[in-house]
Structure 1
Amino acid sequence: MMVSESSHGLWRRCKGITLVEVMIAMVLGLILLAALSNVFIGNMQTRAEIERVGRQIENGRFAMQIMLEDISNAAFYAGATRGDGNDDGNDDALEELNYCDLSAINSRMLVPGLATTSAALACTPDHKAGTDIVIVRRFSTNAVGTAVAQHCGDDAEGALAPAATCVQIDSNGVAQFGRGAMNAKLHDGVTYAPVRIPVAHIYYVDVSNNLRRADIVWADGSASFPDAPETLVDGIEMMSFSIVGQSAQLNLLARAASGSPKLQVETKTYPAFQVAGVDYETNDNIRRQFYSAAINIYNPL
């Protein structure tokens, strides 16, 4: 049987690709796959870096906002009267006490309204050495008038519970300090004036780089500090604070949770923070953001 010339041409056109062609195609495919993989990995790293930086910036801003608002209200209503500065048990609205000493806090509010120290306190057991502690003292700002007299410092039903002196603003705008039934009324002669209780907030950075706050707690007419202060913001590495006249300066150093793979290891110095009298220095590939603010103190003592 003879095969025509046209049949031979059809057979040549229908035969498969050669081994060399397969290998070339595989190499080209691998090159394309490697390129796409690099693009994908790069995008993943970029996204992780953006999230890391975004959280670092947000942590720093949030920490500054919390502290700025509280510090600016330090000594709120406390300037209306002052104690004699002696821890003698007298019924003074304000007296000087140790920051975390609760032996006399049940009978007095504390002064000054704003203070700072770099030494660890009894209520800041995990304080990070080389960072400042900020103590804010004031009366509560979130108070409303009621239809009945409120009690301060006794066990009466509905009492506010703190044994320390409370403050009440009468219809003439005068701050009155006292304990027991608070009977001052507003201009309508019916609504009792708001009663404000003592507040103490102690801010510090712990050894795990968290901004924490120890809040005074009132229960059954006595004051205490919790065993585990509240964690406000993570990723806060350093804090320094100073008071000059009627203003204050707050400096924070926020840091990312982990190092950045594409960031070179380098040494950086932060003069705003002092550790053992030396400028704070870092040597790693962790991104940091420095925050600083001058704060007006509205209620100076």
Structure 2
Amino acid sequence: MTKPLPPRNDRHKSSGGFSLIELMIAITLGLMIMTGLVTIFVKNSQARTEIERNNRQLESGRYAMNLLTEDLRMAGYFSSFNPDELVISVNAPPLGPNSAPVTPAMTARPDPCDTTVANLNNTYFFHVQGYDYPYTSAALPTCISDVRTGSDVLVIRRLATCVAGPTLEAGCDALPNGAPYFQASNCFQATELARNTGSRLDYLSHFVLNTDITLATLRTISCLTSFGAPAPAADYRRYLTHIYFVANNNVGSDGIPTLKRAELGAGGYTIVPLVEGIETIQFEYGIGNTANSAKIDAYTADPNTYNACASTACLLNWLHTYSVKVNLLARNVEQSPGWTDNKVYALGLKADGSANVFPASGTYGDRYKRHAYNAVVRLDNPSGRVTP
């Protein structure tokens, strides 16, 4: 039989703990793990920040394009009034020969910053007009400033889609006191349509465009009630003029290129910042010169010089614009570390037919990421009025 071993007595044995070398190894391994975790965290944070930059840039470009295209689709909306019948297609005043109510006839693009009632009455039917770069600062509308070099300017004229009166439509903002409004007559009696000159051909008798709301007295299609009294006043809507441009700065001198819009209101124009990070907007206008047709014969960046036009012929180019090509370049508001922009961006054609590239020479060579957007917009109101 095996003799059992005596019990161990460890009472007097002390614990040795970790040696210095073991501690140093543990600390080193901990630091290595911590460094790896910090590196992963930093890279994930940088990647998330870059994704956010890209998302903001994409969203800004899409939003800017949506603003421009939606407003262009509404260009030339004048309720039930058709300016083509009384002014454009018949070359009548103020486009036509010198005669009442406008003398002399128009020979140049209207000034979109002139807010007098007389100017509004004689220019509202220019549904779009533009200023193609290169231009001089003196040629630009005086109600905008800080315009970015190389970018175009676009003017859109139309009515609000909702009724401001006599009964305010649900969801429609009330007409500000002193803001211009437009009321089209739906009554075909001579006493209404010939009230100014005695002629139904006087286009000014067919509508009221004014800032004095007491003059909104044109009537509905019934003209008279069943009792022979004047019918209720026709609806009127707010008259809108929007001037789109790219400014060098959003606020102060922050250096952030921004799409802005000058809006006509009571007392003049107000500049409204719309979208940060828009570097340039470029436009080409689709002109149709075929009678009773909205067929596009040519696109040009500047209808004011197209086909060596002069005087009224240039004005008709604008009035016969039935579509617009929109090109814009959006960039990040913040720079992307490690990125260099070596791209060249094609934004349509210049007025002379050559490629419109940005930058004009070389590349930007900076750390801003950019994206180009383009769209073709049919101007439904002016084109629809001439389509059989």
Instruction: State the TM-score bracket (shorter-chain normalisation).
Output: 0.7 to 0.9
**Secondary structure of the structure 2 residue equivalent to 1:261:** coil
Equivalent of residue 214 in structure 1, options 262, 267, 275: 262
Asked if 1:242 is matched to 2:284, the reply is yes
Unaligned stretches of 5+ residues in structure 1: 149-157
Q: Counterpart of 2:344?
A: 269
1:97–1:111 Cα contact (<8 Å) kept: no
2:94–2:102 Cα contact (<8 Å) kept: no
Task: Map 1:102-113 to 2 at 5 A.
Answer: 102=115, 104-105=118-119, 107-113=121-127
Equivalent of residue 110 in structure 2, options 66, 73, 97: 97
1:107–1:163 Cα contact (<8 Å) kept: no
Cα 1:293–1:146 change in 2 (3 A) is: same
Asked if 1:233 is matched to 2:275, the reply is yes
Equivalent of residue 11 in structure 1, options 10, 13, 16: 13
1:147–1:192 Cα contact (<8 Å) kept: no
Q: Counterpart of 2:148?
A: 128
Number of residues of Structure 1 aligned to a counterpart in Structure 2: 278
Deviates more, 1:122-131 or 1:107-116: 107-116
Q: Aligned equivalents of 2:176 and 2:342: distance in 1?
A: 56
Q: What amino acid is aligned across from residue 55 of structure 1 in structure 2?
A: R
- Give TM-score scaled by structure 1 length: 0.79
Q: Counterpart of 1:198?
A: 239
Cα 1:192–1:110 change in 2 (3 A) is: closer
Deviations 1:201-235 (A, max 9, x none): 0000001210000011234xxxx223xx1101111
Whose strand proportion is higher, 1 or 2?
1
- Give TM-score scaled by structure 2 length: 0.62
Using the TM superposition, give the Cα deviation of residue 244 of structure 1 relative to its aligned residue in structure 2, in angstroms.
Answer: 0.9
Q: What amino acid is aligned across from residue 97 of structure 1 in structure 2?
A: P
Task: Map 1:151-190 to 2 at 5 A.
Answer: 161-162=178-179, 166-168=182-184, 170=186, 176-178=206-208, 180-185=215-220
Q: Aligned equivalents of 2:260 and 2:100: distance in 1?
A: 31
Identity of aligned residues (%): 26
Cα 1:270–1:159 change in 2 (3 A) is: closer
Q: Aligned equivalents of 1:59 and 1:235: distance in 2?
A: 7
**Secondary structure of the structure 2 residue equivalent to 1:65:** helix
Q: What amino acid is aligned across from residue 94 of structure 2 in structure 1?
A: D
Deviations 1:153-183 (A, max 9, x none): xxxxx9963567x2325278x9931261323
Asked if 1:259 is matched to 2:335, the reply is yes
CA RMSD, 1 decimal: 3.5
Deviations 1:99-142 (A, max 9, x none): 32345435544342111103332112110010000110112222
Q: What amino acid is aligned across from residue 130 of structure 1 in structure 2?
A: G
Unaligned stretches of 5+ residues in structure 2: 1-5, 88-92, 169-174, 194-202, 210-214, 226-230, 250-256, 288-321, 384-388
Q: What amino acid is aligned across from residue 126 of structure 2 in structure 1?
A: P
1:238–1:273 Cα contact (<8 Å) kept: no
2:341–2:369 Cα contact (<8 Å) kept: no
Asked if 1:294 is matched to 2:376, the reply is yes
Deviations 1:270-296 (A, max 9, x none): 121789987312212211111100000
Equivalent of residue 117 in structure 1, options 131, 140, 145: 131
2:284–2:349 Cα contact (<8 Å) kept: no
Cα 1:167–1:127 change in 2 (3 A) is: same
Cα 1:159–1:121 change in 2 (3 A) is: closer
Equivalent of residue 95 in structure 2, options 78, 85, 106: 85
**Secondary structure of the structure 1 residue equivalent to 2:150:** coil
Q: Counterpart of 1:26?
A: 27
